Amino acid sequence: HILEQGRFHVDEILFYESGPQKPLKSLDNSPCIVLVSGLNMTHADNLHLPLEVFQQWLFGNLWGEECKDFDPSSVVRVILAGNSVKNEDNRVESLDLEQQATADDINGVKFLDQFIAEISQSVHVDIMPGEFDPTSSLLPQPPIHMLLLPKSSQLKSCQSVPNPYACEIAGRSILGMSGQNIDDILRYSQIPDALSALKATFKWGHIVPTCPDTKFAYPILGKDPFVIDDCPHVYFAGNCPEYQTELIKDSAGRQIRLICVYLMLQLPKNKPNHHKHSQTIKQFKR
């Protein structure tokens, strides 16, 4: 109701959250998905070791305490959650929406193509574009054109997908974005961390609540593509400042696994950071 001087008093705020969630199917095995973001292939020469370690870990060629419980044959999908070519932009900020390719960008695309072609021989790979990848920066981002990845495009186990991206793996609904939404929320709000921001977007029922105000988007007619119509089982964001995860319950009692995927490879640092996250799908059984 209206107060003095034209001010409004809000009695209650109701959030949509999301629509219905598909019931979980029972699984006889424990399939696993691997989420990776920020491969930063423009620095592949300097970051050869962590890239090689990740690849050998994925192939099951590593031994040690951290690998004893990992079964490489259980991996059914690798999702590259954005910024695979580079995870930082050295250009002067402007309203120019065109990505200006440099020699490093071109080499980064070549390294990415070779890397994906190698791992796609043993596992299905989904390639999401990120803020600094060679595609339109307007949201929702279209897939990276496979003409840029001639080696990977020859494999049926590799596909380029949009951002945000939704899919179903082993009866589990997966929804995620490459992280622009979380970065923008943290920039313009007092929300303390990426996981809290990701949780807030689910509560609000909208993946990119700051779009189109501070995140540019294609002109939208009719249905908003960022509304969370169906409740996912897994909801993730790539290129986050740190790795975080939480299994939450919404107001209807539905369980959702939230995952903030850390930048896998960063420069400059005293030493490169490398992080991947694997999630056993069977863990989503109630």
Closest C-alpha to 105, from 177, 43, 26, 21 = 43
Q: In DSSP terms, which residues pair with 33 in a beta bridge?
A: 77, 279
CA angle 67, 71, 75 (to 5 degrees): 120
Q: How far apart are CA 96 and CA 159, in angstroms?
A: 28
Residue of higher predicted confidence among 256 and 105: 256
56-67 per-position pLDDT tens digit? 888 888 777 766
What is the helix (H) or strand (E) element at residue 113, kind and residue range?
helix 103-119
Residue of higher predicted confidence among 199 and 91: 199
Quote the pLDDT of residue 194: 97
Average pLDDT over residues 260-264: 83
- Please state whether beta strands 234-240 and 255-262 pair in parallel, antiparallel, or not at all (unpaired): parallel
Average pLDDT over residues 238-249: 93
Q: Is 156 left (phi over 0), alpha (psi -120 to 50) or beta?
A: alpha
Q: How far apart are CA 129 and CA 78, in angstroms?
A: 14
Q: In the chain, where do the E strands start and end?
A: 32-36, 75-81, 125-128, 158-160, 165-169, 172-177, 234-240, 244-249, 255-262, 277-280
Q: For the chain, what percent of residues have pLDDT higher than 90? A: 53
Residue 274 has pLDDT above 70, yes or no: no
Residue 143 has pLDDT above 70, yes or no: yes
Per DSSP, 121 falls in state T
Q: Provide the pLDDT confidence category of residue 265 given band limits of 50, 70 and 90.
A: low
Quote the pLDDT of residue 66: 67
Q: Provide the pLDDT confidence category of residue 283 given band limits of 50, 70 and 90.
A: very low
Residues in contact with 89: Cβ distance below 8 Å, sequence separation at least 6, in sequence order = 131, 132
Residue 110 has pLDDT above 90, yes or no: yes
Domains and CATH numbers, the chain: 30-63+70-262 (3.60.21.50)
Q: How far apart are CA 183 and CA 201, in angstroms?
A: 12
Closest C-alpha to 113, from 82, 152, 160 = 152
At 167, the amino acid letter reads C
Per DSSP, 72 falls in state G
* pTM reported for the whole predicted model: 0.86
Residue of higher predicted confidence among 262 and 126: 126
Closest C-alpha to 84, from 48, 55, 127 = 127
- In this structure, how many other beta carbons lie within 10 angstroms of the beta carbon of residue 208? 23
Residue of higher predicted confidence among 88 and 121: 121
Helix, strand, coil abundance in the chain, percent, nearest 5:
25, 25, 50
Residue 284 has pLDDT above 50, yes or no: no
Contact 133, 85 (CB under 8 A): yes
Residues shown for the chain = 286
Residue of higher predicted confidence among 188 and 15: 188
What does pLDDT average to over the chain? Answer: 85
Quote the pLDDT of residue 99: 52
Per DSSP, 102 falls in state -
Quote the pLDDT of residue 62: 78
Residue 177 has pLDDT above 80, yes or no: yes
CA angle 101, 166, 229 (to 5 degrees): 125
Most confident of 45-54, 103-112, 147-156, 212-221: 147-156
Quote the pLDDT of residue 244: 95
Token pair in block for residue 284: 């989503």
Average pLDDT over residues 190-201: 97
